[in-house]
Amino acid sequence: MEVKNICCIGAGYVGGPTMSVIAQQCPHITVTIVDINAERIAAWNDSDLSRLPVYEPGLAEVVAEARGRNLFFSTDVDGAIAGADMVFISVNTPTKTYGKGKGMAADLKYIELCARQIAAAATSDKIIVEKSTLPVRTAEALKSILHNTGNGVSFHILSNPEFLAEGTAIQDLHRPDRVLIGGENAEAVQALVDIYATWVPRERVLTTNLWSSELSKLTANAFLAQRVSSINAISELCERTGANVDEVARAIGTDSRIGPKFLKASVGFGGSCFQKDILNLVYIARSYGLEEVAHYWEQVISMNDHQKQRFADNIVQTLYNTVSGKKIAFLGWAFKKDTNDTRESAAIYVADALLNEEANIIVYDPKVSAEQVYADLDYLGTRAPKENRRLVSVVDDPYDAAERAHAIAVLTEWDEFRDYDWQRIKDHMMKPAFVFDGRKLLADNRLADLGFTYYAIGE
Ligand code: NAD
Ligand code: UGA
């Protein structure tokens, strides 16, 4: 089965970068990424590459190389499906906000809509690839929809979860630790293996059955998030005992069975997936009556909520038990560095807790717009949008954020924060000048030497 035309439904943080890299690496395949969001497609087609809807180091270069050659962005979903041999589904699968499983299960309505649209638009046989993160056994539902169309077209379903991390998406796609492909039909699996094998060493392309592939994605995210919650749990103990969490992380990380990665204590993990995928795993376990399994994974989220809350609590307590009317400067709003994505960012929840105490917050983030900051706070629904705008301002100069601030909170580990003129910042702050470092970014005594009162997670 030779694939000449690929369609990807969903031009988001996953669909955009993954398909751009496939197009870059496989000039013999035409890749069309479609989305119902016309504004997003227009941004992907913008001649000014700094306006692509996703910020990722190296992405603009990949798009520049392939766009218009064999990479296309379009709103013509039906047309792209009809012309494709292989259709990737890369739409969002957020946590349900209504009905059964509300707040836990993945909302599969966008996935089902895609399946129905594929069924309606297809006039020839196709391989359908699940790229979105899905509950185990979703392929069964897809099969049921696709195999009952009565139009004589046959479909093979594959699971090919994506493991890229934002901020390093292009490097992760160019040199993945592994690519995972689950499927029942050997020819269809081989067709997708052949695409990746163009640039990924063959031994890194793993093939499994459908259900193992679907479940491995949720499991990988659960394990990764669990490491962050585990080191964050230890960070609190460090703060009480005089141990230093970075030293503990180094000491345990040199054990090759534990490994050094993903042991950075923080104000809490964010991002669109860790929480959503663990909630989904918990929901699935519970739906099979596996209460202990569900309860075990639930703790990873409880610990993360605790970490965000105690970071905010520490700010209030340290500032003499009141932040009402005080100016707190936030350095960073994105959920990690090198991305403009703010979904589930710890900053949102820390801000919300401080706003409940009537703090004034001034946000600076190198890649996040004021609009986005307000949208994130409004989405919580804790207070009226007008109140969020009264209490929060967003600036495009970090020194303006620090001006007459009672405290600075570091919420994202952007590299540039290290290089600021911290003496200048301190000179313009209220005294004592407090810094609460939720990323241990500045934990090298430098700030204490300059006369800041400095608190870092896990010290
Ligand atoms: P996203 O919200 O950025 O993008 C999804 C896109 O799908 C949106 O632009 C939306 O308009 C579009 N869409 C929804 N329904 C559609 C339809 N019927 N037809 C056409 N377009 C439609 O989401 P994302 O971050 O790219 O995540 C997509 C999936 O990948 C999720 O399941 C997520 O869990 C998974 N994932 C995400 C990451 C990540 O780093 N963001 C990494 C691995 C896996
Ligand atoms: C994560 C996984 O790393 C990807 O493999 C997966 O594909 C993706 O989720 C997904 O399914 O969406 P991502 O959320 O983009 O990727 O970013 P990570 O680097 O995993 O960071 C997640 C959060 O954990 C961030 O808020 C980060 O600051 C935090 N983190 C990470 C820590 O606090 N400490 C660490 O040691 C590592």
Give the closest residue (by CA) to ligand 2 atom 13. 165
309 and 297 co-located in one domain: no
CA–CA separation, 8 vs 89, rounded Å? 6
Say what percent of the chain tops pLDDT 70. 100
Mean pLDDT, residues 131-153 taken together:
90
Single out the residue in 250, 278, 301 at which a domain terminates.
Answer: 301
230 and 174 co-located in one domain: no
Mean pLDDT, residues 280-286 taken together:
97
Give the closest residue (by CA) to ligand 1 atom 1. 12
Q: Which of 98, 109, 115, 133 is nearest to 284 (CA)?
A: 133
Model's pTM, two decimal places? 0.96
Give me the pLDDT at residue 142, please. 94
From the CA of 273, give the closest atom in ligand 1: 34
Strand order in the sheet with 453-456: 392-394, 360-364, 327-331, 407-410, 434-437, 453-456
Phi first, then psi: what are they for 395, rounded to 5°? -120, 160
Single out the residue in 208, 234, 266 at which a domain terminates.
Answer: 208
In a domain, 427, yes or no: yes
Single out the residue in 208, 229, 248 at which a domain terminates.
Answer: 208
Q: Which of 245, 276, 257 is nearest to 440 (CA)?
A: 245
User: Where is the binding site, in residues?
Assistant: 10-15, 35, 40, 91-95, 132-133, 162-166, 217-221, 257, 264-270, 273-276, 335-336, 343, 439
Least confident of 142-146, 205-209, 220-224, 413-417: 142-146
In a domain, 213, yes or no: no
**Ligand 1, CB within 6 Å, residue ranges:** 9-15, 34-37, 40, 77, 90-93, 110, 113-114, 132-133, 162, 164, 166, 272-273
255 and 337 co-located in one domain: no
- C-beta of 176 in contact with ligand 2 (< 6 A): no
pLDDT 10s digits, 333-376: 999 999 999 999 999 999 999 999 999 999 999 999 999 999 99
- C-beta of 56 in contact with ligand 2 (< 6 A): no
23 and 156 co-located in one domain: yes
Give me the pLDDT at residue 443, please. 84
Residues annotated as part of the active site: 273
User: Using 50, 70 and 90 to split pLDDT, how confident is the model at 444?
Assistant: confident
Residue 155's beta-bridge partner residues? 126
Give me the pLDDT at residue 149, please. 77
In a domain, 140, yes or no: yes
151 and 243 co-located in one domain: no
Spatial CB neighbours of 230, under 8 Å, sequence gap ≥ 6: 303
Least confident of 260-274, 286-300, 314-328, 440-454: 440-454
363 and 397 co-located in one domain: yes
144 and 195 co-located in one domain: yes
- C-beta of 269 in contact with ligand 2 (< 6 A): yes
- Please report, for the domain that includes residue 245, its CATH number: 1.10.1040.10
Mean pLDDT, residues 79-95 taken together:
97
In a domain, 146, yes or no: yes
Q: Which residue type sits at 204?
A: R
pLDDT 10s digits, 369-401: 999 999 999 999 999 999 999 999 999 999 999
In a domain, 56, yes or no: yes
User: Using 50, 70 and 90 to split pLDDT, how confident is the model at 235?
Assistant: very high
pLDDT 10s digits, 31-62: 999 999 999 999 999 999 999 999 999 999 99
Q: Which of 276, 334, 267 is nearest to 303 (CA)?
A: 267
Query: Which ligand has an atom closest to residue 337 CA?
Result: 2
In a domain, 288, yes or no: yes
Q: Best mutation site among 7, 8, 13 for ligand 1, i.e. most ligand atoms within 8 A of its Cβ?
A: 13
Mean pLDDT, residues 213-236 taken together:
98
pLDDT 10s digits, 247-262: 999 999 999 999 999 9
How many domains does the chain divide into?
A: 3
Give me the pLDDT at residue 148, please. 83
Spatial CB neighbours of 52, under 8 Å, sequence gap ≥ 6: 16, 43, 44, 46, 59, 60, 63
48 and 177 co-located in one domain: yes
Q: Structural domain of residue 26, as residue ranges?
A: 5-208
Give me the pLDDT at residue 1, please. 82
For residue 371, with 0-12 CB atoms within 10 Å meaning exposed, 13-18 middle and 19 or more buried, which class applies?
Answer: exposed
341 and 449 co-located in one domain: yes
pLDDT 10s digits, 2-14: 999 999 999 999 9
pLDDT at 152 > cutoff 90: no
30 and 72 co-located in one domain: yes
- Please report, for the domain that includes residue 389, its CATH number: 3.40.50.720
Give me the pLDDT at residue 4, please. 98
204 and 224 co-located in one domain: no
